[in-house]
Amino acid sequence: MLSRRRSLLLGGLAWTLLSTLAAVGLAQSELTRLREAFDTDARIAHRLLSQRAAQHDAILATLNLLQPTRSGAEDDQPQQHLPAVYPQVLLVLQRDRGHDWRDAALQAADAQSRVLDRAVSVHIDLAQGRYLLVQHGEPASHALRLDLRAMVPWSEWPIRVDDPQRVSLQFGGQSLVLQAGHGAPDAAPWPYAFRKVLASPSQPFEVVVERGFGWADLPWGQMAGASALIAALLAAAAAWWRQRVARRRAEELLRLGQVARLNTLGELAAGIAHELNQPLTAVLASTQAARRLLADEEHDPADTPLLRQALEQAAAQARRASDVLLRLRRSVERPDAGRVLQPVALDVLVADTLHLLEPESARRAVVPQVVAAAAPVVVQGDAVAVQQIVHNLVMNALQALEQVDAAERRLVLTLDTDGDAGRLRVADTGPGIPDDALPRLFEPFYTTRPGGLGLGLSLCESLAQGMGGALAAEVNPPRGACFTLRLPRVAERP
């Protein structure tokens, strides 16, 4: 149960982290796309306005080339038709030959235009959207009164009227809003601004395009979809991992069970050999006695050869059976003869065994508690044999705890050292061991469990002794049993 809670917590943290990263990535991508589209629209707007400003310069240059043929004949002057062609041109003014501009500002601008050899803006009133553009010429100079609002080529304008961008022209602290947009760009979480002066030096108005991107501009649908996809992938990964862990646990339990069955079979065979060896020895002794009696001179001499032959054959078969059982016993009484002892981390084996028995513990509502030593306990032994011992001890404890109330079930595994030995204590709060059963607990075929063979603890003791260790049992006060496994400890390197 604890492991499941931890898995859910880790899964939740992973989902939160990955969803946050995905949301940030999608938000940045969307903001970058919006910023690029904003820059593109702003540059197109600036280019169109610059083209109109350059057009004004071209009109004045053309008028200066087409000097009037006679003064006062307005009907013959083509510039008077310009407002009809260019709506932003409100009026065309002309300084005649040998005269000055009546407006001092125009006169000064005319003189500046002559020096700069280009048109000059004067009487700039952005609040009204009007200004004059003067171009010096000989013998006559010309000026255009222009309407800034009318110079916007709306037919080619890249920004829709209902778009949130605000477009304005700014000069000398004055501002003319060409497109109001909506909202307050500066108050938005992500404000963007484009600023660039018109390409024509005669009309140095700065084009300012502003927009603020807010939370509503983020791709919430995509972010929600990404979170759902991540949740589905994590769920699939968790299911795959659970199946993998379950498969590996089943494989490990199967392997451990096979080893346990083989060892149990060896223990069983050793017990049988031990039990049968004595009767067979008695048979051998009896047949040998019979042979000696038959050798008595009072016996019927006619049957003696056949009886002697039969008895000798029986003795030979009995001896042969005894030899077979002896060889069988020798082959199985030391199942650990082929094992290679090596340093084994007892802590790791305990953790692996508890992991294998996790479903058994959860089914019995038991949460094993491990009290580890300050340093890893490394013993000399066979990893499979040690794990089999731990498996049997923990499984016995879990089965014992089934007999008490769930609230009283405690299973504590303590790891420590005792001199030159590494020690593992498995203590439970089950019904405990009867006093009369405690001395015989490790005898083969002795069991207090209905249906049990009585070979499990005997096998564990044999395995422990085969590795140079020992296994002991005692009462765990106030109630329960405690088994202590001792194995030779590997000396720590200096």
pTM (global) more than 0.75: no
What pLDDT was estimated at residue 265?
A: 74
Q: What is the CA radius of gyration of the chain?
A: 52
pLDDT at 55: 93
Contacts of residue 131, Cβ cutoff 8 Å, sequence gap at least 6: 121, 122, 123, 124, 125, 145, 146, 148, 203
Rounded Cα–Cα distance for residues 223 and 201 (Å): 47
Tokens, residue 101: 């501009």
User: Which CATH number does the domain 342-488 belong to among 2.60.40.350, 3.30.70.20, 3.30.565.10, 3.30.70.260?
Assistant: 3.30.565.10
Contacts of 224 by beta carbon, 8 Å cutoff, 6+ apart:
none
For 98, the 3-state DSSP assignment is coil
The CA–CA distances, whole Å, from 36 to 191, 206, 227 equal 13, 20, 26
pLDDT of residue 466: 86
By CB atoms closer than 10 A (0-12, 13-18, 19+), residue 180 is exposed
Point out which residues pair with 212 in neighbouring strands: 191
pLDDT at 429: 93
pLDDT in tens for each of the 494 residues of the chain?
A: 546 677 788 888 999 999 999 999 999 999 999 999 999 999 999 999 999 999 999 999 998 887 765 554 444 566 677 888 888 999 999 888 888 899 999 999 999 999 999 999 999 999 999 999 999 988 889 999 999 999 888 888 988 888 888 999 999 999 999 998 877 777 888 899 999 999 999 999 999 999 988 898 899 999 999 999 999 999 999 899 889 988 888 888 888 777 777 777 776 677 666 666 666 766 776 677 666 666 665 666 666 666 666 666 666 666 666 665 666 666 555 555 556 788 999 999 999 888 888 888 888 999 999 998 888 899 999 888 898 899 889 988 999 999 999 889 999 999 999 888 999 999 999 988 888 888 888 876 767 776 666 677 888 888 898 889 999 999 988 889 999 999 999 866 54
Residue 109 dihedral angles phi and psi, to the nearest 5°: -65, -35
**For residue 174, what are the CA distances in angstroms to 90, 148, 205, 209, 403?**
21, 13, 10, 15, 92
How is the chain split into domains, by residue range? 37-66+78-217, 224-332, 342-488
Q: Does domain 224-332 have CATH number 1.10.287?
A: yes
Which of 134, 116, 141 lies closest to 64, judged by CA?
141
